[in-house]
Amino acid sequence: MDNVLSGLNPEKVFHYFEEISSIPRPSGKCEMISDYIVSFAKEHGMECIRDDNMNVLIRKPSQKEDASWVIIQGHMDMVCEKSYDYEAKHDFTKDPLKLAVLDDYIYAKGTTLGADDGIAVAYMLSILSDDDPSLPSIEALFTADEEDGMRGAMAFDTSLLKGRKMINLDHEIEGELLTCSAGGKRVVSTVPVQYENVSGIGYSIVICGLTGGHSGMEIDKGRGNANLLLGRLLHNITKNMPFSLKYIGGGLTDTAIPREAKAEIIIDPSDVDTLETIVEKCSRIICDEFEGIEENMMIYAENKGVDEGLCLTAESKKNIGFLLNTMPDGIIKMSRKNDGLVRTSLNCGIMKLTEKDFSMIVNMRSLAESEKDALSDKIEYLTEMCGGTFSEEYDYPAWEYTSDSRLRKTAFEIYQKMFSKNPKLRGFHAGLECGVFFKKLEEVDIISFGPDINNIHTPKERLSISSSARMYEYLLEILKSI
């Protein structure tokens, strides 16, 4: 370990953050980080329970008599995205993150940082190692695979929990206390495809350099979806000239707005100038539409020379084009009660082509179960219109607002006292594990907050050092008051 964060305060928080950054922890592969947390518990002589889904629960009784149990909770896994020029340089299943510090921010070179939700894990480990006698009895719950349908939280046996006050540490804006969050669903549209042999001039059609971002947190920013923009571009080519589609793909995870997408096509040699003119014109139009939002977007066609191979039949290409150009995108509805809060949204996060089919993996979120289901039905209908099949991979509940939260009242008053201003009470469009525990754990009282983390789910992710310190002290004060 390089000790890049040595000297930063709180010292223990950043020590643990650097340690877990050296441990690969993509969604679906939480074994190593789960092992590390179990080892931590054993080294500190603490009660520890790990289930078959790699969730870890650590209990540390208070030194105070009759102290109540408080649950602190965060997830172990991280979204794994890397910059275009870093593609071959990092394996998220094997390599440690390469941390660096610039001014007040920690980042990872070429990749996501995993401060979502690595800073929560670091907070929790630091608190567990704290011998302060004024702390309450702590149940620290480290959940697996949050970024993949909250599978860890969904499978966790909540009868193991003694506490009924829960502090979730999976928020990314200092000064906000979350009061509710959206439910979510991941669906897959799959269309069968057939191929035929084609020869001509090969071209790569590329859209890259988009900002991307969290499909809940950043969906209201109007950022471009590379997958659907590529579908639009291919449709414009279809209207003006024939071509055969050899490959199409884009996006890395359904919870991130896709930053890059690529198609490989074969055209007649006589259409080279026409194709390049169409792509250049569409590039100008689309870049103008996203002026001030996607300043680094690039759209181009690269001539690959003479090419021959299997391409999609005309019918298969048509069905893919239909899905890409009718799929809903972005904000579907805004909240009528809370200004600026997205009520329902959709993100076409991944598209991929195989020998047998083309699939689109879609993430939808809503504060209303009925609207989420209606949107899912619409995608199912569109899929069936072009001879495809539709499936649901996960569906997690919303965290509903409760007006009489004593924990929220306590957290509000402590924030006022510490920072001489009110925290912002906010509903949240992104999904949180709070919804799962709200539904599964009777009479639980939940709050959620965290330090400033910018550009999560992108290689530009940044964690504020000073904000991390302030929010850790805030967390300690809340715990001591219980």
The pLDDT value recorded for residue 132 is 94
- Do residues 326 and 341 make contact, with C-beta atoms less than 8 angstroms apart? no
Residue 88: predicted pLDDT: 62
Tokens of 3: 């000790």
Residue 69 pLDDT more than 90? yes
Pairing of strands 462-464, 105-108: antiparallel
Mean pLDDT of 226-247: 98
Give the model's pLDDT for residue 86. 65
> Which two three-digit tokens encode residue 140?
């620290």
Statement: 186-396 belongs to CATH 1.10.3720.10: no
pLDDT at 339: 79
Give me the mean pLDDT over the 302-314 stretch: 97
**Catalytic member of 18, 81, 146, 170:** 146
pLDDT recorded at residue 259: 95
Confidence at 39, pLDDT banded by 50, 70, 90? very high
Rounded distance, CA 151 to CA 103, Å?
36
pLDDT at 87: 61
Residue 303 has pLDDT above 70, yes or no: yes
Secondary structure (H, E, C), 224-242: CCHHHHHHHHHHHHHHHCC
Residue 299 has a pLDDT of 98
Q: Per the omega criterion (within 30 degrees of 0), is the bond before 423 cis? A: no
At 430 the pLDDT is 85
The single-letter code of the amino acid at 94 is K
Calpha distance 444→461 (Å, rounded): 32
Residue 329: active-site member? no
Please give the structure tokens belonging to residue 284. Answer: 């100008």
Assess contact for 78 and 435: CB atoms under 8 A. no
pLDDT class of 386 with cuts at 50, 70, 90: very high
pLDDT number for residue 149: 86
pLDDT at 123 over 80: yes
pLDDT in tens, 311-329: 999 999 999 999 999 999 9
State the pLDDT confidence band at 1, using cuts at 50, 70 and 90: low
User: Residue ranges of the domains in the chain?
Assistant: 11-171+432-481, 186-396
Residue-wise pLDDT tens digits, 251-289 = 988 989 999 999 999 999 999 999 999 999 999 999 999
Share of the chain above pLDDT 70, in %: 99
pTM given for the model: 0.81
Average pLDDT over residues 200-211: 97
Check if 11-171+432-481 and 186-396 are the same fold: no
Q: How confident is the model at residue 337 (pLDDT cuts 50, 70, 90)?
A: confident
**Which among 127, 107, 114, 136 has a CA at the least distance from the CA of 40?**
127
Catalytic, 18? Answer no
What are 336's two structure tokens?
């009528």
Q: What is the CA radius of gyration of the chain?
A: 24
Comparing 241 with 430, the larger pLDDT belongs to 241
The confidence band for 336, taking pLDDT boundaries of 50, 70 and 90, is confident
Cα separation, 389 vs 189, in Å, equals: 6
Per-residue pLDDT of 430-448, as tens digits, reads 889 999 999 999 999 999 9
Question: How deeply is 196 buried, as exposed, middle or buried, from its count of CB atoms within 10 A (0-12, 13-18, 19+)?
Answer: exposed
Residue 64's pLDDT is: 86
Interacting residues of 329 by C-beta distance below 8 A, sequence separation 6+: 225, 228, 346, 347, 348
**Strand-pair partners of 188:** 361, 391
Give the range with max mean pLDDT: 73-87, 327-341, 353-367: 353-367
Sign of the CA dihedral running 269, 273, 275, 276: positive
Region at 238 (left for phi over 0; alpha for psi -120 to 50; beta for the rest): alpha
Domain 11-171+432-481 belongs in CATH node 3.40.630.10: yes
Cα 205 from chain centroid (whole Å) = 27
- The mean pLDDT of the chain is 95
* pLDDT of 428: 86
Percent of the chain with pLDDT over 90: 90
